[in-house]
Chains A and B, each alone.
Chain A
Amino acid sequence: MSTTTAPTSRAFPRPRASFVPAWALHWTTWALVVVLVLGPFVPLLEASLRDRPLYQDGGVWTLEPYRQLLNDGAFWTAWKNTLAFAALTTAMSVGVGAAFAILCARTDLPGRRAYSRLVLLPILLPSLGMVLGWIVIWGPGGYLTEWFSQRLHVGTLAIDTIPGMAVVEAARLLPVAFMTCQAALVRADSSLEDAARSAGARPLKVLRSITIPMLRPALLNSATLIFTLSIAALGVPLLLGTSNNIKFVSSYLYDLWTNGSVPDSPSVSAGAMLLLLVATALIALRNLLLGAEARFVSVGGKSGRSAMLGLRAWRYPLAALLGLYLLFTTMIPVLGLVLMSFVVVLTPLVAPWHLATWAHWHMLSEGVFRRSIEHSLVIGVVGAVLTTALVVLATLVAHRSGFRLRRTLPFVMLYPRAIPGIIIGIGFYWTFLVTWGVGDYLRNSIWGIMLAFCIRNLPFAYIVMYPTLARIGEELDRAGRAAGAGWWRTNRSIVIPLLRPAIFASFVLMFVEILNDYDPAVFLVKPGTEVMGATMLTQFIQGAIGPVAALAVVQVAITVVVLAVGGRVFKIGATAGGHGA
């Protein structure tokens, strides 16, 4: 026990209120997020209801663009194709992804730890580059397609058909299903399964009657998300569907935009509005399903031991199968890209070293390719910093303030996840047109493209930020407030330092996403403001496959290095799971 006398109760000055009141900061942050995310839809809606593009004088309000679109048989065909494609993609990626998740989380599969990390690769690698890799290897006249038909006389799946395109897209989106199911399995109490086994059920029976039913919410959740994402796919239909003239809604709108008889036709905006409506309905449905999820969540439970299903004789064959899957869908397309970038033509008829060339790589050092790389790196860094800063603030307002509208922020921040990239592109295109000087500046520089990319990928930053914030006890910032610090001082000195790992993770993830994004840019890009993804798309369509492959290799290499270094330094392996949420 201390024997010091009680200290004199000294009077300290009362803490002064800060210059910028907290409410001003809250309102500013909220308004910024809402305007940036939802703002572009206003001019888009307007553009879809006018008889001519917004930049032309005159014009009247009309429903004509919608009428035109709905009377076009090709638009309906595009919807039919899109829905068939999305349904197939969803079925395949959810089915296979869930199977992989069960194998990795609940069996004694050899190498399951390594596999559960490698399976995530396709969603982290640049999606456009991966599609190119698929084309080079598995496309008509692709390396392995030829090799299989000439050496083994077996046909491979034609990836330029709807089922083929669905396979390509499913391979990319499979990690979404895998992560959602794996998270559900890890969270679920394995003693539920133990209980069934001690009640006498054989392992396969347990799998069928306990494990898989428990996964139902995760399956529904990932299925709606994958369906929404695949409806919006642009790269696959544009690169694979064009030769067979298979149009999806996204590629239909893209063609109408670039090759239509009227430039910037209002029908494109009308189509974008319809697509937005569908995507929004799907996300609302998903929220509804997620709301019901709580009923399925098993309470508590430490899953210390997870391998319960002994595969016995199937162990190695299944591990080999999973390995082959990864080899053919991920490794070989990447290798194909690398190979393609070094040869004149990629063909199994002639050994590659006879066709070796540096020409493609030389092209990267000049002109549009060089500009694209530089631009992408610049907007990647700047965009990642700005988005992370905004999301930190917005997440704090959403979850650590008494701001009246705080509950709307998470919805607004997650919304772009459901919006097809082309809609964001068209929305910003019109927004820049109607915002005078600022818009003109953004339209004619790379910053406009950066803004669109940032908004498109903002949900990832939030998905990384929120779980970390939720783990920081609220009493820590209350203690700061009680000590006399205002809202901002408390967050600056206490909460933000504790958020540091999530801030770094968000930065790394945002950089990679902005670097690899492309579809919003195809509507915004101009000569002089090219970025990697958009350049790859336009140059590929023009037939410059070699340099595009080299560009894709650069993209893949930067992505892998940044994720590897970032992941090691900031331990973000787990946060990649954000893609699934």
Chain B
Amino acid sequence: MPEIHVEGLVKEFGDQRALDHVSFTVADGELFTLLGPSGCGKSTTLMSIAGFQAPNEGRIAVGADTFFDADRRVNVAAEQRNLGIVFQSYAVWPHMTVFDNLAFPLRVRKVRKAALRDRVREILELVDMAPYEKRYPHQLSGGQQQRVALARALVYSPSVLLLDEPFSNLDAKLRERARTWVKDLQHRLGLTTIFVTHDQDEALSMSDRVVVMDHGVIQQVGTPEEVYRRPANRFVAEFVGRVNLIDGVVSSTAAGSVVLSVDGSQQQLTLSAPDRTGLAEKVTIAVRPEAVTLLPMDDRTVNGTNTWEANVHTVAFLGDHYEYEVSAGPVPLTVQSARRVEGDTIKVHIPAEACSVVA
């Protein structure tokens, strides 16, 4: 399985810039996710790789094959790229049986009849759809259609697999099962895969690496953990998971840590090692709700650093945890806590290592 190189893609629709110098490399066998809100350019990127859209600038290559190069005026036709694609609507051809849907790409490749039948059956086995080969798409459930779409994208051994929001038409329960199943299949086949989604849970749970995009610009590339725990900027912090944002000014720096004066209050926040921040700089800190600890007022287990007094506004019970809306001075915080902490006034503790500077 080859690597995918995307370099400096620019795509303009009228005066709208849909892609602004998008570059990344997908490693062999990796499941790589493009994540972002609708209109962020993730689908445009995918369709450019697939060959359904021609960018204005940039280069796309899979392994040694250059698919697109604006400078050299190379643009390989979509049908010559040998990529497997699963579309959002599945696009299972309604007038063909399951068998014929899978056979079509092989017939285009002039595969002989016997070999064709064997291959189609083999792939149908792989996706557990062998008993349905004579069915028409309208006789299948959404989940089954999705398997057919995936099987059709795999049957001709494509060099890479592209998934365009393949789970968005499934209901919640089915979606989770489909995720595990696709991830497992991708891993077993060792397929280099690009996956497009706007669902952060999907992106975090399935990907080897995630690209977060907004307004046609890449905001961050990293493993799911990196993107979640160390968001590169405010957009990533807010888009991937829920977050508390705290504004302040750097009041002192020491080796490996800085102290922040929170805007509008006397409170101080000590953070670990944001090496690029300077004194008196205005910064914004992101803290995940589950990283904050709640303590009763009389608790003495943590020292005074990053521990503030807070007023409780609401408490909601959500089954496996409680959700608190509190305010520590002028700073509103959302906190997830596994246990209930009694009292209208409590202590919140923000661990230094849970803070990331996002702006």
Contacts and interface: CB of A to CB of B under 8 A. Distances in A.
B189 A484 contact: no
Contact of A10 (B92, B128, B157, B181): B157
Contacts of B88: 475
Contacts of A15: 79-80, 82, 108-109
Contact of A485 (B50, B81, B104): B104
A481 B189 CA distance: 23
A12 B79 contact: no
Interface of A: 1-2, 4, 6-7, 9-17, 473, 475-476, 478-486, 489-490, 493-494, 497-498
Contacts of A4: 125-126
B109 A479 contact: no
B85 A478 contact: yes
A351 B230 CA distance: 100
22 contacts: A2-B125, A4-B126, A6-B126, A6-B190, A12-B106, A14-B109, A15-B79, A473-B91, A475-B89, A478-B52, A478-B85, A479-B87, A481-B77, A481-B78, A481-B79, A482-B50, A482-B81, A483-B79, A483-B105, A486-B77, A486-B79, A490-B79
A484 B108 contact: yes
Contacts of A489: 108
Binding site secondary structure of chain A: loop
Interface string B175-214: 0000001001000111000000000000000000000000
Contacts of B52: 478, 481
Contact of A482 (B1, B78, B125, B127): B78
Interface in B13-64: 50-52
B157 A493 contact: no
Contacts of B51: 481
A13 B152 contact: no
Best-buried of B111, B157, B189 by chain A (most CB within 10 Å):
B157
The 4 closest A-B pairs by CB, nearest first: A483-B105, A475-B91, A479-B91, A475-B87
Interface in B150-166: 152-153, 156-157
A7 B122 contact: yes
Given A1-B184, A2-B127, A482 B189 contact: no
A503 B77 CA distance: 29
A23 to B, nearest CB: 10
B85 A14 contact: no
B4 to A, nearest CB: 15
Given A476-B93, A489-B108, A482 B181 contact: no
A479 B152 contact: yes
B104 A2 contact: no
Determine which residue in A478, A483, A497 has the highest number of CB atoms from chain B within 10 A of its CB, and name it: A483
Given A478-B85, A481-B79, A482-B79, 9 more contacts: A2-B126, A6-B126, A9-B157, A10-B119, A12-B157, A478-B50, A479-B85, A479-B91, A494-B93
B245 interface: no
Between A7, A12, A486, A494, the greatest number of chain B beta carbons within 10 A of the residue's beta carbon is seen for A12
B123 interface: yes
Contacts of B127: 2
